[in-house]
Amino acid sequence: MDWVSLRKTHSFTRRYGHEVGDQVLAAIGGRLQSASRAGDFVARLGGDEFVVLSHAPHGGDVEAAAHAMRDRLQAETTGRFALAGTSIDYAGPSIGMVVAAQDGRDPEALLAQADAAMCVDKRLRKAVRETV
């Protein structure tokens, strides 16, 4: 499971208006769907947060598959977005990843773990920006 939190989307809305802010959310949602595989599930949780549920390939390395998915999501949602009337360069979201075995773990607990991992990613990305 990947928890995707868009960063600085409120600044797009303030600068360009709600219509462009909505276009950014829709475009990122579309890119998340494009980065996902058949059978994966992409949903907007609300505001500027999405969740991506994916299954690891049978017989494969679950951790490697999860990291590859996270990397695809990050790459697909970073960069230039051509929107109606303007284009926007986006530095990418913060993504929290959690890998769960099929042991019937509580979905709310998984969401909480993914959210906590996303918060760590957000702090790390902020620290990198501040030291550069």
**Residue reference for tokens 């590859």:** 68
Torsion of CA 125, 54, 69, 112, to 10 degrees: 20
| Domain ranges, ordered by start, for the chain | 2-131
Mean pLDDT of the chain: 86
Structure confidence by residue, pLDDT tens digits, 18-68:
888 889 899 999 999 999 988 999 999 988 999 999 887 777 788 888 889
Class (C level, CATH) for 2-131? alpha beta
